[in-house]
């Protein structure tokens, strides 16, 4: 089966299980979704391998809590996830990625730079 990037609009019981593995620190009730607060995930073989929270405001978008399950890292999942989010939201002119919850800032900085983001205080920006 092919890796797909999806916007989660309704979460299944399995989605909650998978998101619990991706984000063990978040309770299911904190995973609110609407037109402004979105969840995007990478799905493979009916399981979520990575996810990111997206908040939209006018022409600005903020990403936070980008995480890929450890067993799947370094295979392009995170890159594909961010690229598809940007592609899915063409009206967003400026993106911000907060460094909240980042496990290794050095690794994340290299990753974000590879995606065209520049380092700022407390995160990365792409215009």
Instruction: Specify the pLDDT at position 28.
Output: 85
Cα–Cα distance for residue pair 59/126, rounded to 1 Å: 12
pLDDT at 74: 77
Q: How many residues does the chain have?
A: 127
Give the pTM: 0.90
Q: What is the pLDDT along the chain (127 residues), one digit of tens a residue?
A: 688 999 999 999 999 999 999 999 988 888 889 989 999 999 999 999 999 999 999 999 999 989 888 777 777 898 999 999 999 999 999 999 988 777 788 888 999 999 999 999 889 999 9
* Residue 37 confidence (pLDDT): 94
For the beta carbon of residue 102, count every other beta carbon within 10 angstroms.
20
Cα separation, 110 vs 106, whole angstroms: 6
**Rounded to an integer, what distance in angstroms lies between the CA atom of residue 62 and that of residue 86?**
11
> How many degrees, rounded to 5, is the angle at CA 77 between CA 109 and CA 125?
35
Residue located via tokens 């995007």: 40
Q: What is the pLDDT of residue 73?
A: 78
Q: Mind giving me the DSSP string for 25-37?
A: TS-GGG---SSSE
| Whether 95 contacts 83, CB under 8 Å | no
What pLDDT, on a 0 to 100 scale, did the predictor assign at position 112?
93
Give one DSSP letter per residue of 88-107, joined into a string.
H-TT--EEEEE-TT-S-HHH
């Amino acid at each position: 089966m092919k890796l797909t990037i999806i916007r989660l609009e309704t979460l299944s019981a399995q989605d909650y299980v998978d998101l619990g593995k991706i984000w063990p620190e978040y309770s299911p009730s904190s995973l609110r979704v609407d037109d402004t607060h979105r969840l995007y995930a990478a799905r493979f073989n009916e399981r979520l391998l990575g996810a990111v929270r997206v908040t939209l405001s006018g022409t600005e978008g903020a990403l936070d809590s980008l995480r890929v399950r450890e067993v799947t890292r370094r295979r392009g999942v995170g890159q594909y996830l961010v690229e598809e989010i940007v592609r899915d939201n063409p009206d967003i002119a400026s993106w911000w990625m907060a460094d909240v919850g980042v496990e290794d800032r050095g690794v994340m900085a290299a990753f974000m730079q590879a995606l065209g983001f520049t380092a700022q205080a407390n995160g990365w920006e792409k215009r």
